[in-house]
Amino acid sequence: MSAEGVVAQRSPSVVLEVRGLVKAYPGVTALDGVDLEVRQNEVLGLAGENGAGKSTLLKTLVGLVRPDAGEIYVRGQRVRLRNVVDAANHGIGMVFQEQSLVPNLTAAENIVLGCEGPAIRRGVYRWATMRALAQEQLDKIGSTIDPLARTDSLTFAERQMVEIAKVLRIEQRTHNSPVIILDEPTSVLEPSEIETLFEQVRRLREFASVIFVSHRLDEVLDVCDRVYVLRGGQSVGEVRPADAVAGDLHRMMIGSESHEDHYHGSAVTRDETPRERLTVRGLAGAAFRDVDLDVHAGEIVAVVGVHGSGREELCKALFGAVATTAGEVTLDGERLDLTGPRAACAAGVGYVPAERKVEGMVGPMSVADNMTLAKQRVGCAGPVIVPKRQNDIVDKWISRLSIRTPGRRTAIQRLSGGNQQKVILARWLVGGDVRLLLLDHPTRGLDVGARSEVYRLMRELAGTGVATLLLADSLEEAIGMADRVVVMSDGRIVAEVPCPPDRKPSPLDLVKEMV
């Protein structure tokens, strides 16, 4: 008898179970005997540092990764999940952290993709039916997105809502209650959108089971019934939110006493009259206008605003990635060439984009090649790459930033999200000539330990005189890390709020300016 179809004697309340799951890659064991149990009508939290094995575990549950050993049971029946369709047929669907939509299709096409049903007749789309099916799912999450809007015209947060609507279509694929996996679903959502999502999660609990993954431990404790903690590819414990606080989870995640996740360490010592490093006057583009901004050497300035405020476009414009129509920008008194990223790199400007897998890295390329991509000269003698020189530089930054990788020649796409982000940050440090660092949500998707390391690095760079423009992941992060906060609304700067260490503003102070 084949392995598939073997029935385990388990409680009817258990809808999904993994036993002794193992998955190894060259130089690293991602899963080392993981056990996990998902019960009917519950929200199960999954917590762990970057590299703990969460992503690999989730990918095995949706058929993207085949384990080397171990067993998976769905409603007591042992199964082999060969691909995403196979997992969906067993009622398992996932909202991916890095998104899996087809950008040149409409939201409606993405939502029904692979589960078109009555939306297709004789191989031809029935557009009215497809739109109605998509609208049904969007209505469930309170979204106002036009189902016929092209996906690449939507913001990141709007695309995330389309992802959630898409996975809800799994209800039409199975007669059993589904298992919905939400991998970092709140990473780019506004507070009001997060509450809408949580309402949807609570609704899902009524007819489905949910696996909820977030690095924001307070969210995990708020919305989940139980929480599993992974460390080093192993299950290290189960926590009931009613009996725990975020610090308890963090201690289990790192295997030691709680590491304080503070934003700001010791204040950076500066001259009484710090020199202006970045000066922006009258800058305008398609999504912003009349921008005047100064950032001093060694200063961290956070830019906050709701979606559509223009802050992301401003950040890209300063890197030459978005065209400007008016204004002038100077760096240390010299006019900054905004004609393209190449000129910005040459001038000592670094940029860490929000969507690292799309804009920040080349997945199949190695850690070493990604790290030196913008500063290839550091590993060269003339026009020729000198492997030993490149290796020495890469090894230095792997060690300094504690990048967890099997080796410098490992493809960056095999690293966890937090370690990928460290490689991208290191890209701007290997040359030693960065003067202005543009950080667009640099801690998105990072666990508390990795976030603290990024904060520490930002402070170290500020101490060496690097000017930083930060698009924070939350208002709390902006307030905690910044020396000043600039508020944008409708493409313009509408307020500037000082953030001295002893007199930090509250999030409400900023919200009043944002709306």
Rounded average pLDDT over 475-485: 91
Read off the pLDDT of residues 378-437 as tens digits, 9 standing for 90 and up. 777 777 777 888 899 999 999 988 888 989 999 999 888 778 888 999 999 888 889 999
What gap in Å lies between CA 322 and CA 317, rounded to an integer?
4
What gap in Å lies between CA 46 and CA 54, rounded to an integer?
7
Q: What is the percent of the chain with per-residue pLDDT over 70, rounded to a whole number?
A: 92
Contacts of 384 (CB under 8 A, 6+ apart): none
User: Rg (Cα) of the chain, in Å, rounded?
Assistant: 24
Q: How confident is the model at residue 377 (pLDDT cuts 50, 70, 90)?
A: confident
- pLDDT of 263: 58
Domains observed in the chain: 1-91+179-256 (3.40.50.300), 94-172 (no CATH), 275-348+434-515 (3.40.50.300), 353-432 (no CATH)
Which of helix, strand or coil describes residue 217? Answer: helix
287 C-beta neighbours (distance < 10 Å), count: 18
Read off the pLDDT of residues 52-93 as tens digits, 9 standing for 90 and up. 888 899 999 999 999 999 999 999 999 999 998 889 888 898
Q: Closest Cα to residue 372, out of 354, 382, 387, 355?
A: 387
Q: Is-contact 484 499, C-beta < 8 A?
A: yes
Read off the pLDDT of residues 169-221 as tens digits, 9 standing for 90 and up. 877 777 778 899 998 887 666 677 788 778 878 877 887 899 999 878 888 99
Q: How confident is the model at residue 507 (pLDDT cuts 50, 70, 90)?
A: confident
- pLDDT of 411: 93
Q: How confident is the model at residue 515 (pLDDT cuts 50, 70, 90)?
A: low
* Lookup: tokens for 198: 């949580």
CA 472, 413, 437, 328 torsion: positive or negative?
A: negative
Name the H helices within 242-318.
246-254, 311-318
- pLDDT of 318: 96
258 C-beta neighbours (distance < 10 Å), count: 15
What gap in Å lies between CA 127 and CA 29, rounded to an integer?
47
Secondary element (H or E) of residue 294: strand 291-296
Please state, rounded to an integer, the average pLDDT across all residues of the chain: 85
Q: How confident is the model at residue 8 (pLDDT cuts 50, 70, 90)?
A: very low
- pLDDT of 227: 94
Q: Phi first, then psi: give them for residue 428, nearest 5 degrees.
A: -90, -5
Q: Which long-range contacts (CB under 8 A, 24 or more apart) does 31-35 make?
A: 31/56, 31/57, 31/60, 31/67, 31/70, 31/233, 32/232, 32/233, 32/234, 33/70, 33/234, 33/235, 34/70, 34/230, 34/233, 34/234, 34/235, 35/235
Provide the β-strand partners of residue 351: 438
> Is residue 305 over pLDDT 60?
yes
Contacts of 358 (CB under 8 A, 6+ apart): none
* Lookup: tokens for 382: 């003339």
> Is residue 265 over pLDDT 60?
no
Rounded average pLDDT over 11-38: 87
- pLDDT of 440: 93
Q: Phi first, then psi: give them for residue 194, nearest 5 degrees.
A: -65, -40
How far is residue 268 from each of residues 154, 322, 466, 502, measured CA to CA in Å?
A: 39, 32, 11, 13
Supply the pTM of this predicted model.
0.66
- pLDDT of 327: 95
